Amino acid sequence: MSRSQLRNLKKRPYFRANVIDEVIQHGESYDKKYWEDDLSDYAPEHGIDRFEVLEYWGMCDTEMLEENGAEIPKELKDYDELQANIWICNGKLIRMVLNPFKPATIPYMAVPYELNPYSFFGIGLAENMDDTQTLMNGFMRMAVDNAVLSGNLLIEVDETNLVPGQDLSVYPGKVFRRQGGAPGQAIFGTKFPNVSNENLQLFDKARQLADESTGLPSFSHGQTGVTGVGRTASGISMLMNAASGSIKTVIKNVDDYLLRPLGEGLFRFNMQFNFDSSIKGDLEVKARGTESLMANEVRSQRLMQFLQVASSPALAPFAKFQYVIREIAKSMDLDPDKVTNNMDEAAVQAELMKGMQSEQPQQAPAGANPMDPTGAGGGTIGTGIAPTPGEPGFTGAPQQSGQANTQPTETVGEQPQATEQLQ
């Protein structure tokens, strides 16, 4: 703490102002740690003139509390040790009080990524993938080392065939002078074998093992190149749902070790210190983050399945669609009063939509419109096969003997009409 922060402690209850003044007069006592240079860029102040203040929550001997002037109620004096809160700076006691919370709990929470019964801190991602990370580092280092060797030639020079005193450096256009000797080549270039691809394949295999050891597949955070079942939308959805199982376990640890204790602490604080008597009661705090999430997913899926079943005309009269629609809205975290209608509002909405549909002009059939560009006249010209002679619907005139048989018809008015029938 700085001097200003230490002086501000005097305004808080049960801090010993005269001891704080003595600590400040004694001077700053904080030694900068070796790792703080890494964090200095993020600190609002870069100086190291600080006071080291230690805060302790835990058990303390009752005799030590009495010796240092802590107030102990009569009902607690028979205990050998009590929960206390103690602040120390420069070897001086600047605060010592009994734990004010009921029940007397230590006011901090530790949330393990993965629970370990033998460790307070649990097991994290880094520890889970420690072995596979070591493999990945080794294979990548081998691939890079091999690429360095194989990226250039290994040059072998037979100096007995060369003129002595030459510069053996190699560059484009370099000329080496010979002086006879045995026939043959004097300078040899050896290509080092490149096995980087094999090492990178092993690196990728170790990365897949890291996915299994951590429970976080690469495609869940954007890795491309998924083949097989993951190439379709439903396939990738199934893979994501399977991958979220281990993540939900972590979220449940957050519920059990952070949100529930935090909610209990806030509830107990209000029960103990809030002056509003109307909120006092005996309640149990439950964190239901993952449970409610899972329940909403399953519930929404079942409601949608029921809606599909009930959409059939034979079953529709038996379903209460108003309730189903409201429950679907709730499962999607929507306000059902704002996004759904009741029966009266639904009837009004149906009448409005029916009126809107009747106002829309009906599209005339093809051919009824003089401006119709198809020219089909409302028919289906050009479809099917024309009937052949002798088939029903044939409209041609088959010629037989070339003679026409005329028959008179009834006289209508004064003008006789006759039809010619070709047989």
Q: pLDDT category, 332, cuts 50, 70, 90?
A: confident
Cβ-proximal residues to 177 (8 Å cutoff; 6+ apart), any chain: 162, 163, 166
Please state whether the predicted TM-score (pTM) of the whole model is above 0.75. no
Q: pLDDT category, 53, cuts 50, 70, 90?
A: very high
Residue identified by tokens 């210190």 is: 273
Q: Give the largest Cα separation in the chain, rounded.
A: 146
Is residue 197 classed as helix, strand or coil in its secondary structure? helix
The predicted-structure confidence for 279-320, as pLDDT tens digits, reads as follows 888 888 888 776 676 677 778 888 888 888 888 888 888 888
Of all residues in the chain, the percent with pLDDT exceeding 90 is 22
Q: pLDDT category, 11, cuts 50, 70, 90?
A: very high
Most confident segment among 120-134, 210-224, 355-369: 120-134
The answer to whether 238 and 272 are in contact (CB under 8 A) is no
Q: What is the pLDDT of residue 402?
A: 47
The backbone region for 250, taken as left when phi is positive above 0, alpha when psi lies in -120 to 50, beta otherwise, is alpha
Judged against a pLDDT cut of 60, whether residue 420 lies above it is answered with no
The answer to whether 15 and 95 are in contact (CB under 8 A) is yes
Q: What is the pLDDT of residue 287?
A: 81
The predicted-structure confidence for 197-252, as pLDDT tens digits, reads as follows 999 999 999 988 988 888 787 777 766 555 555 567 777 777 777 777 777 778 88
